[in-house]
Chains A and B, each alone.
Chain A
Amino acid sequence: MCTTCGCSDGETRIDGVTLTGGAHAHEHPTAHGATSTQWRTRAGGADHAPIPSHVHQHADGTWHSHVHGGGSTHEALAGAPALGAAHEDGTPAERIVRIEQDILARNDTFAELNRQAFADRGNFALNLVSSPGSGKTTLLVRTIEALHGRMPVFVIEGDQQTSLDADRIRATGAAAVQVNTGKGCHLDAHMVGRALAQLDPADGGLVMIENVGNLVCPAAFDLGEAHKVVILSVTEGADKPQKYPDMFHAADLMLVNKVDLLPYVEFDVDAAVACARRIRPGLEVLCVSATTGEGFAAWLAWLERGVASARGARDRDLAALRRRVAELEAKLGSAADAA
């Protein structure tokens, strides 16, 4: 664990390489701008359990609050003409610092960096989430093979241990980076940012991030992706969206996988879809089989639309930048002429 910030990045490995090696090798984004430090009294604050304290102004104009000890009286202090810096009653100084910062602010800062990196390259990035065993990696392998020659695909694989999944992806010819989270139960945006630097996806490519198989924890962490895609296989319960609502609420697309097994299992697709849409109204749903390729035409078309959209947005950004550069050059030219 990092002894400066308390984070546990030290267990994370990317393609087998421990990232921190005991040194504090990861940066801390300065989201501190959002931290407004203010002094205020707890007395009268109804939102928390009240702490007996008061606030007063010193002769130099600074405000100060502290807890009253048993013998200290507010009236006596308030009646004093000018307070010095010392508290002669010996009560310990207590201050309340107002922070108002999101617990996930650091992750979200890194997620925005990733999102910007994807936008700059015109990458369409997806975060694939599901229980273990839903068939994420098999789905990825078949998707990469089907997209061969149509678009470049880049993969970030998240697992607690081993590079087995990245090895399977690399066997298809696609570039893959394995992130091992150690004891971690999810990928976070910082891990993905570092993996992304190593992966170096080509402009306009599809980036698939296969999260740790876990239907709970990855829901909370934005990785900078365009969409979370949740995979539910027909060998699981159709009521899973109700049992694990956070993940289905965070997703934009649900893939119902292993539909080739429907004749052999009791899984009501309509009930599963209805269940998921009670949690996430408007959720897109595609039924696929990574084994037989059933439903893949619609899935691949969905991916191609996303890639085209990401490339289009990048092209529009570049065109706007070129126009701006041309405007500035014209302005510079006329300024030089005038001089």
Chain B
Amino acid sequence: MHEVALAEGVLRIVMDAARASAAAHVHTVWVELGALAHVEPDALAFCFDAVTRGSVAEGARLDIARTAGAAWCLPCSVEVPLARLGDACPHCGSHQLQVLKGDEMRVKEIGIA
């Protein structure tokens, strides 16, 4: 379950930012996960609770926003929505799709006190 490593990545970023801001406590962490990102959001949330124990972010709420996937259809030369890898172009049915967005995993902001 690589979500443990991802949760540790989130914690590392959060702790660096919290330290730089002299935060006593982190109450919320906003992350953005693309629809095509290689992560299971529920598993990430579960791991986040585990890895933050004993840290400045213990008990923090992990707010996960999902962003839509999109791809470039080569036959149509147009951007199309892509919900899952392996889906076809909704216009022409081709799989000649290059992912444009939706694979991002980012920490956006933290709420501190």
| Residues of A participating in the B interface, judged by any CB pair closer than 8 Å | 5-8, 28, 32, 35, 37, 42, 47-49, 51, 92-107, 184-186, 188, 216-221, 241-242, 245-246, 249, 277-279, 281
- Knowing A99-B17, A99-B107, A99-B110, the reply to whether A48 touches B65 (Cβ < 8 A) is yes
Question: Is the beta-carbon distance between A245 and B5 smaller than 8 angstroms?
Answer: no
Give the residues in chain B near A97, CB-CB below 8 Å.
17-18, 21, 23, 109-112
A94 to B15 CA separation, bound complex (whole angstroms)? 17
Determine the residue in chain B with the shortest Cβ distance to A36: B17
What is the distance, in angstroms, from A181's C-beta to the closest C-beta of chain B?
10
| Residues of B participating in the A interface, judged by any CB pair closer than 8 Å | 1-2, 4-6, 8-18, 20-21, 23, 27-28, 30-31, 38-39, 51-52, 55, 63, 65, 74, 84-86, 88, 95-99, 104-113
Question: Is the beta-carbon distance between B17 and A37 smaller than 8 angstroms?
Answer: yes
Determine the residue in chain A with the shortest Cβ distance to B87: A278
**Between-chain CB contacts (< 8 Å), 15 pairs:** A6-B12, A92-B113, A93-B113, A94-B111, A94-B112, A96-B111, A103-B9, A103-B106, A104-B6, A104-B9, A188-B5, A220-B38, A249-B85, A277-B95, A281-B98
Question: Is the beta-carbon distance between B2 and A100 smaller than 8 angstroms?
Answer: no
Question: Is the beta-carbon distance between B11 and A6 smaller than 8 angstroms?
Answer: yes
Residue with the greatest number of chain B CB neighbours at <10 A, chosen from A95, A97, A216: A97
What is the distance, in angstroms, from B65's C-beta to the closest C-beta of chain A?
7
Question: Is the beta-carbon distance between B109 and A279 smaller than 8 angstroms?
Answer: no
A37 to B18 CA separation, bound complex (whole angstroms)? 10
Question: Is the beta-carbon distance between A220 and B9 smaller than 8 angstroms?
Answer: no
What is the distance, in angstroms, from A221's C-beta to the closest C-beta of chain B?
7
- Knowing A32-B20, A281-B95, the reply to whether A99 touches B86 (Cβ < 8 A) is no
Question: Is the beta-carbon distance between A100 and B108 smaller than 8 angstroms?
Answer: yes
What is the distance, in angstroms, from B78's C-beta to the closest C-beta of chain A?
16
Give the residues in chain A near B95, CB-CB below 8 Å.
277-279, 281
A107 to B2 CA separation, bound complex (whole angstroms)? 13
What is the distance, in angstroms, from A206's C-beta to the closest C-beta of chain B?
27
Give the residues in chain B near A7, CB-CB below 8 Å.
8, 12
Given contacts A49-B63, A95-B112, A96-B109, 7 further A-B contacts (CB under 8 A): A35-B13, A48-B63, A51-B28, A51-B111, A101-B106, A103-B13, A220-B38
Question: Is the beta-carbon distance between B112 and A216 smaller than 8 angstroms?
Answer: no
Determine the residue in chain A with the shortest Cβ distance to B30: A48
- Knowing A220-B38, A281-B97, the reply to whether A102 touches B109 (Cβ < 8 A) is no
- Knowing A37-B20, A47-B65, A51-B111, the reply to whether A104 touches B4 (Cβ < 8 A) is no
Determine the residue in chain A with the shortest Cβ distance to B13: A101
What is the distance, in angstroms, from B39's C-beta to the closest C-beta of chain A?
7
A96 to B26 CA separation, bound complex (whole angstroms)? 10
Give the residues in chain B near A93, CB-CB below 8 Å.
113
Question: Is the beta-carbon distance between B112 and A35 smaller than 8 angstroms?
Answer: no
- Knowing A48-B63, A48-B65, the reply to whether A95 touches B21 (Cβ < 8 A) is yes
Determine the residue in chain B with the shortest Cβ distance to A242: B86
Question: Is the beta-carbon distance between A102 and B110 smaller than 8 angstroms?
Answer: no
Determine the residue in chain A with the shortest Cβ distance to B112: A95
Give the residues in chain B near A246, CB-CB below 8 Å.
38, 85
A51 to B30 CA separation, bound complex (whole angstroms)? 13
Task: Choose among A28, A98, A104, A216 the residue that contacts B105 (Cβ–Cβ < 8 A).
Answer: A104
Determine the residue in chain B with the shortest Cβ distance to A184: B5
Task: Choose among B4, B12, B85, B112 the residue that contacts A279 (Cβ–Cβ < 8 A).
Answer: B85
Residue with the greatest number of chain A CB neighbours at <10 A, chosen from B2, B21, B30: B2
What is the distance, in angstroms, from A308's C-beta to the closest C-beta of chain B?
28
